Structure 1
């Protein structure tokens, strides 16, 4: 398995995996939290990666992307500077429990260090359907900080 930062040329593969992640969340919760639009996801991913607003580290099995973590930089007073947000993290089901996710987290942490980020944050639903996901992140060094993910849709 190889891990590396991807460029715009792999945006379509990343976007398709992000759609798989979205669909998995919808399936697990039974609630359509997101609209799934593959062409839009591809277009956004290409633009974000090209502009440097979105850094994607992917896991490759030969030449096939089997997992990825997408990162954005943010700033806050509580974090005392810049930090990274793991916006999406996904490993294909047949590659789970094979240390792909664990190694991907290590690569994400190394990337964060190279950017001089103070910390990494991510969000996962605090629902029983995601207990294994939460446990995975905890085993890999993340801690629960409380709160709820909330959104306000601007129309």
Structure 2
């Protein structure tokens, strides 16, 4: 079967939420609240500034992968940049080129949007070495750890 990659739209909010919820659960988040995710996703998708988008990998009518992105501006990035927020492939479709197709779609999208770079916050390389290796194979370079501070 051919895998089709398409940009999400407002009708995909529940699908995006379900895919991201699966990723979060796999990463160990036991407190995934789908209702809250749907509300957040709805706000992001419906934002007129178009700073958030998702691409879906579909096989027939089934969604087998997702990549979500945000656009930002920075001096160090010399202008517009993209940030991969989430990348998830259903387990039985991994290592079949789906992730590569999604990353290539992001690179083309970023080029069209005038981005100077695409960044990703990868999980702990000791625990998720296959994930980090995947990004490196796709041309990403390590730029250091990413830290967070919760405001809420």
| TM-score class, shorter | over 0.9
TM-score (norm 1): 0.90
- Distance in 2, Cα, partners of 1:94 & 1:46: 28
- Distance in 2, Cα, partners of 1:126 & 1:90: 16
Matched, 1:45 2:45: no
CA deviations 1:67-126 (Å, max 9, x no partner) are 111111111111110100001111111110110111111111111111010000011123
The alignment partner of 1:17 has SS state of helix
Q: From the two aligned structures, give the one with the greater helix fraction.
A: 1
- Distance in 2, Cα, partners of 1:108 & 1:55: 10
Matched residue, 1:80: 78
- Distance in 2, Cα, partners of 1:79 & 1:35: 34
- Check whether the contact 2:125–2:132 (CA below 8 A) recurs between aligned residues: no
Matched residue, 1:116: 114
- Check whether the contact 1:2–1:61 (CA below 8 A) recurs between aligned residues: yes
> What is the count of residue pairs matched by the alignment?
148
Matched, 1:101 2:99: yes
Matched, 1:17 2:10: no
Matched residue, 1:145: 143
- Distance in 1, Cα, partners of 2:102 & 2:85: 14
- Distance in 1, Cα, partners of 2:61 & 2:114: 30
TM-score (norm 2): 0.92
Matched residue, 1:3: 5
Uncovered stretches (5+) of structure 2, i.e. residues with no partner? none
Deviation at 1:54, TM superposition (A): 1.2
RMSD in angstroms over aligned alpha carbons?
1.3
Matched residue, 1:29: none
- Distance in 1, Cα, partners of 2:16 & 2:31: 17
Deviation at 1:128, TM superposition (A): 1.5
Structure 1 segments, 4+ long, off by >6 Å, are none
- Distance in 2, Cα, partners of 1:41 & 1:120: 24
Uncovered stretches (5+) of structure 1, i.e. residues with no partner? 27-31
